[in-house]
Chain A
C-alpha cells in the first residue's frame, strides 16, 4: 500500500516542488517529443551514441532546479520492466562483437545495454518535462496544440481528483489496518468490498460535483478556454538551440572522434 503514499507524495512534489523555467510548455513538449523520437532512431547496435543523449535530461533538470539526481532516481524503476523483455537478446544473440579485458562481448549484450539506455532516456525526458512545466501547463499545451477539449477537460478533472481519491483510499485502508488487517494485498472478496465501496463513494462525489457545476450555470459547454499567448523569442531560441544540440549529438561521430583522440 506504500504505492498510494508514494503516489500522493509524487503528486504534491509535482504541484509545489518543481521550479519552472520560463519557456512555453508547447515548446518544451515538442522538444521532449522530438528528443524521444531521435533517441529511438539510434540503432540498438550503437549504445555508445546513446550515452551522449543524456546531456538533455542532465542539463534541463539542473537548469530548472529539479536536480538530475531526483530525475535519475525516479527513472531507475523502469529498468526491470525493460529488462524483462530485453533479456532474451543476450540469451539468443551470442555473436561476439568485441573482446574487452579478456571478456567476449556478444551482440546480445550490446543491444541489451542499448535497450536499457533508451528506456532511461525516454523516461527521463518525460520526467524533465512534467517537472519543469507542471501537469496543468502540459495540459494547456496539449489543448493549444489541438487536442480535443473533452479530453483536456477530462485530464484536468482526473488530475484534480486523483489526490482526493487517493487520500480516501488511504484512509479506508488505514481503517482496515487499525482493525488488525495486516496483509499487503487483499483476498479477492475483501478487495471487491473495498474497491466497490470506494467506487460507490466516488460516484456519489461525482454527483455532488455535477450539482455544484450546475449550480454555477454549467450547461454542457466545455469550459476550458485559455488565451493563446504568443511565443517569445526565447521560446524559439530554446527550440532551435535544443534541436541543433540533439541533432548534433545524434549524427556527429563524436565517439569515433573521441576514440581517435584517445588512441593518438
Chain B
C-alpha cells in the first residue's frame, strides 16, 4: 500500500432496516489530500467513512484503499492504514485510563511492549495530552476527550485519518487545537462535517453530499461561494464566513 489513495467506485449501501444510505458514490481521494465531506445529517457522510474503514461493506460497488479492495478479509489490514475518529469521544474512549486507551490499538496490532509505549507517548505528546495519561476518560473535559480520541488513532500510525464531526461541541480554543493537530498530520485526511469554517481553513478540497449522492466536488473556496449549491445541500454560512467568502 505505497500510494494511499482512496477510491470509491459506484458505491451503494443499504442498512439492514432497508434504508438506502448511499446511492452510487464515485470518488477518488489522492494521497496527502485533505478533503471535507459536507452535507446535512443523513446525507451519507458517516456511512461513507464507515465503509472506508471496512466497518461496513458496500452492498454494491467497491472501495479501494491503496491497491487493496476493502472486504471482510482485508478489513483488519485496512483498519491499520485508516484511522477513524468517531463523532462522540465517549464512544471511542472505553478503557479505564487515557494511557490504556491510546495503547489499545497498538496492543491489538501485537507490537512489542516497548514499541507500544513509544507510540503511546508520541501520540499523546502530539495532541498535547501526555500529562493526562493516568487520568480516567470520565474526568476529562470535552476538548481533552477529543484530543485523546485522536491520539488513540494516531498511536496506530495510520496513513489516512478519517474524522466524523470532529468539531461538534468544542469551544473555540480546543477547536483551534484540533485544527493544529489535523494540520500537523501529513497524510490523507477526510473530515465529515457541517462546520464550513473548519472545512475552509483545513481542507483545500470539499465534497458536498445530499441524499446519498455527491452533488459537488471541488475547491472549498469556490464551492462556498456558490449560494445556489449551498442552498440545495441545505448548508448555510455563518455571517463571519459569508463576509470572508465575499472578499
Contacts and interface: CB of A to CB of B under 8 A. Distances in A.
* A–B interface present (Cβ within 8 A): yes
A208 interface: yes
26 contacts: A15-B138, A16-B139, A136-B97, A156-B96, A160-B137, A205-B90, A208-B86, A209-B91, A211-B50, A211-B55, A211-B86, A212-B84, A212-B86, A212-B91, A212-B92, A214-B55, A214-B79, A215-B55, A215-B84, A216-B104, A216-B105, A216-B108, A216-B152, A217-B109, A218-B104, A225-B107
A225 B99 CA distance: 13
Contacts of A215: 53, 55, 79, 83-84, 86
Interface string A69-113: 000000000000000000000000000000000000000000000
B169 to A, nearest CB: 14
B152 A160 contact: no
A159 interface: yes
A11 B139 CA distance: 10
Contacts of A211: 50, 55, 86, 91
Contacts of B50: 211
A156 B109 CA distance: 22
Given A156-B96, A217-B79, 10 more contacts: A16-B139, A136-B96, A160-B138, A161-B94, A163-B138, A211-B50, A216-B108, A216-B152, A219-B76, A225-B107
B108 A221 contact: yes
A219 B108 contact: yes
Specify the main secondary structure of chain A where it touches its partner: helix
A219 B77 CA distance: 12
* A11, A216, A218, A219: residue with the most chain B Cβ atoms closer than 10 Å: A216
A205 B88 CA distance: 10
* B91, B97, B105: residue with the most chain A Cβ atoms closer than 10 Å: B91
Closest 7 CB pairs of A and B: A217-B108, A216-B105, A208-B91, A215-B84, A212-B92, A136-B96, A163-B138
Interface of A: 11-12, 15-16, 136, 139, 156-157, 159-161, 163-164, 205, 208-209, 211-219, 221, 223, 225
B134 to A, nearest CB: 10
B192 to A, nearest CB: 14
Interface residues of B, number: 29
Specify the main secondary structure of chain B where it touches its partner: helix
A9 B152 CA distance: 28
Interface of B: 50, 53, 55, 76, 79-80, 83-84, 86, 88, 90-92, 94-97, 104-105, 107-109, 136-139, 152-153, 156
A211 B84 CA distance: 10
A15 B84 CA distance: 29
A136 B95 CA distance: 10
Given A215-B79, A216-B104, A217-B76, A160 B88 contact: no
Contacts of B109: 217
Contact of A217 (B80, B90, B136, B139): B80
B55 A223 contact: no
A217 B105 contact: yes
A16 to B, nearest CB: 6
Contacts of A223: 95, 104, 107-108
B33 to A, nearest CB: 21
A216 B79 contact: yes
Contact of B96 (A139, A209, A219): A139
B95 A156 contact: yes
A224 to B, nearest CB: 8
B137 to A, nearest CB: 7
A97 to B, nearest CB: 51
Nearest to A213: B94
* B55, B94, B97, B104: residue with the most chain A Cβ atoms closer than 10 Å: B94
